[in-house]
Structure 1
Amino acid sequence: MLVEAGPGRRPGAGRIVLLLGGILIVGAALWLVATGQSGIRYTADHDGTVPMWTGWVPALVGIVAVRLVPPAASPPWPGRVAPYREAVPLLLAAVAFAAALPLLDGEPWYTLLKVMLLLGVPVLVFRLSRPTWPPSPAPGGAAYRYGPALPVAVWFVLSYATPLARPVSDYGRTVDTAVLVGTLVVAFLVNALLEEVFYRRWLQTRWESILGRWPAIVLASLCWAVWHVGIQGIGRLGDDLASVAVNQGVTGLFLGYLWSRYRRMWPLLVVHGAVNAVPILLGL
């Protein structure tokens, strides 16, 4: 869906955001290669690394697959004003979460801060602004209902059934079944569900109406990526930012495009949930 220029629209700013975001991601990759740090951490549980391109191939092929499957007809955006009163506070909440997380001493502060900023702030903002948008997509046919299954399946196969697969986790063998199930459920709710609703459904959607599709995807992806420094960083801020930009940042492009094209939550939850759970389940 292309957002037409109109009151509150900033296509020029969108082009700047897209250019700067692209430079940041490409520059991060070049920096890591130049400094011999192309192995990136793929979990917060240990310091193991994988080549950074192992996550690029599933994400980029997935983006191509999204492009090939037509989306449902998209409803028009409201024509009067862009939702700055919602978009700006949500962006500030995302920045605050990324900035404050490294200062905390683990759980339960991490989860409390996350719930407060990524759920509490939006609830307050929406209550005050009483949003009447964005509209839901118009009812579609089979392409709308089942189309996202193809890019999700392509991403899943490349990520877990090819040499690109990341190492499995032995966590499931170290705890009893009740703890394992509880961990997976909580991780899904706090990570996959809350993050996808906040970064894609709320943050990206509102900035799409201001900047356009791909600038908003890049902006939301980098906001989502940066907070991972707080759990996967090694203490060198520049290197840590470069690492998450080429890791979660690139995966975020796939997730953001899935959301922008289909406006369906289930594909995002399947992909994000798989990232967290599949390595554990495969290690049982």
Structure 2
Amino acid sequence: MGFFRGRLEADLGEREVDVARKTILWGGLAVFALALAVTGYALLTTGLAPLPPVPFTVWLPVGVGLLLLSLITPPARSAELEARVRHAMAPHSVERELGYLAFCLAGFILGMIGLSGLLGLLYGNMANLAAPAVRLLFLLFIPLLLVDWAQVGRAGDRPTIPRIAMAVTEPWRWLGLIAVLVGVVLLASAVDLATMIADRALPVGLLGIVVTISVPEEIFFRGMAQTRLEILVGRWSAVLLTSLFFAATYAAMGTDVDVVRGEATLLHGDLLRAIATYGVWGVFYGYLWSCYRNIWLNIILRSCVIALITIPLQHPPG
């Protein structure tokens, strides 16, 4: 783990570090298991929205996608890529940068709640205009300025995370597209695809999804937050933690933007159901990122998921 592992071990000892990491891993798994159990029970006993049922819009595509990623990712090449990522992160102060990212995430949530409420009072149904501006500001521009761009100018010949994530020249780093396409096809089979295709506003809607949701959120949650958490707590613990933060963010905002169908509010603040939907998809996004460090794959997957769920709802056939 290099410098950061050395610092942790100096403070706590190697055994304590391993215990802490295992505690985070098993604690995260327990939270996901509880969320899945509670949501599954609610679906079976009450027929609770979203529709189509969560197993077909979330759990099945994600499960198959994770299995495919584990089978098709070349272990040796993935390990070499991981070494490049850690080399790129060596000059960074991971703990301080995670603090900056936490500040940005809090600003995003508060900005969404505050500005949406203000616009709602002033302009009624125009409240949703707050989302793109606040998301781009707090999840893209400010984090890049504080965390990544500050290092790019001083990197010299050393690789940086933005370069690794965006300049994908090795063909094998596109193998993850297989899992992405299979997951998208499984999701498409469970939603109203005909309505989406017939929607004349589809190109504009897709562009808006990519620019205002997929790009900032995948760069923030996976490219920046998860990468730094992996250095501190390990791969799977970081995937789970980032997915939990991702789900909690949507639950805190209380707006339906992504996975969950139904009311205009997300799960009425139900964090466990948010974890069982947003969080589960977040595990797919996180594992995909950890295998290939190809931000384009994450953006493609995230954009397809949002489009397949939301566009048919927003533009019903007339």
Normalization by structure 2: what TM-score?
A: 0.71
> Shift in Å at residue 231 of structure 1?
0.9
Matched, 1:51 2:83: no
Range with greater deviation from structure 2 (259-268 or 78-87):
78-87
1:145-224 map, 5 Å = 145-161=173-189, 165-168=190-193, 170=195, 177=200, 179-224=201-246
Q: Secondary structure at the match of 1:228?
A: helix
> Shift in Å at residue 8 of structure 1?
4.0
Q: Map Cα deviations across residues 250-271 of structure 1 (whole Å, 9 max, x no partner).
A: 1111111011011112221221
Q: Which residue of 2 aligns with 1:44?
A: none
The structure number with the bigger radius of gyration is 2
Q: Secondary structure at the match of 2:52?
A: strand
CA distance in 1, matches of 2:47, 2:105: 27
The structure richer in helix per residue is 2
Give yes or no for contact 1:21–1:219 (8 Å, CA) kept in 2.
Answer: yes
CA distance in 2, matches of 1:170, 1:158: 17
Matched, 1:83 2:86: no
CA distance in 2, matches of 1:184, 1:150: 21
Q: Which residue of 2 aligns with 1:259?
A: 289
Q: Map Cα deviations across residues 228-266 of structure 1 (whole Å, 9 max, x no partner).
A: 2321335743xx212210011111111110110111122
Which of these residues, 111, 121, 135, is aligned with residue 132 of structure 2? 111
Q: Map Cα deviations across residues 97-154 of structure 1 (whole Å, 9 max, x no partner).
A: 3455345333222222212210232133137852644473898864x24311221122
Range with greater deviation from structure 2 (125-134 or 254-263):
125-134
CA distance in 1, matches of 2:214, 2:248: 16
Matched, 1:23 2:22: no
Which of these residues, 260, 274, 277, is aligned with residue 247 of structure 1? 277
Q: Map Cα deviations across residues 209-246 of structure 1 (whole Å, 9 max, x no partner).
A: 11111111111112222232321335743xx2122100
Q: Which residue of 2 aligns with 1:7?
A: 6
Q: Secondary structure at the match of 1:227?
A: helix
Q: Unaligned 5+ residue runs, structure 1?
A: 42-48
- Number of aligned positions between the proteins: 266
CA distance in 1, matches of 2:169, 2:151: 27
Identical residues among aligned pairs (%):
23
Q: Unaligned 5+ residue runs, structure 2?
A: 9-16, 118-126, 257-264
Q: Which residue of 2 aligns with 1:74?
A: 81
Alignment RMSD (CA, Å): 3.3
Normalization by structure 1: what TM-score?
A: 0.79
> Shift in Å at residue 195 of structure 1?
1.2
> Shift in Å at residue 75 of structure 1?
4.3
CA distance in 2, matches of 1:127, 1:205: 12
CA distance in 1, matches of 2:198, 2:255: 23
Which of these residues, 220, 228, 238, is aligned with residue 250 of structure 2? 228
Give yes or no for contact 1:196–1:269 (8 Å, CA) kept in 2.
Answer: yes
Q: Which residue of 1 aligns with 2:145?
A: 124
CA distance in 2, matches of 1:260, 1:18: 16
CA distance in 1, matches of 2:246, 2:194: 23
Q: Secondary structure at the match of 1:166?
A: coil
Give yes or no for contact 1:204–1:256 (8 Å, CA) kept in 2.
Answer: yes
Tell me: CA distance 1:37–1:260, structure 2 relative to 1, closer, same or farther (3 Å). Answer: farther
Q: Map Cα deviations across residues 162-201 of structure 1 (whole Å, 9 max, x no partner).
A: xxx1344847767xx4x54323211211111111111111
Give yes or no for contact 1:59–1:254 (8 Å, CA) kept in 2.
Answer: yes
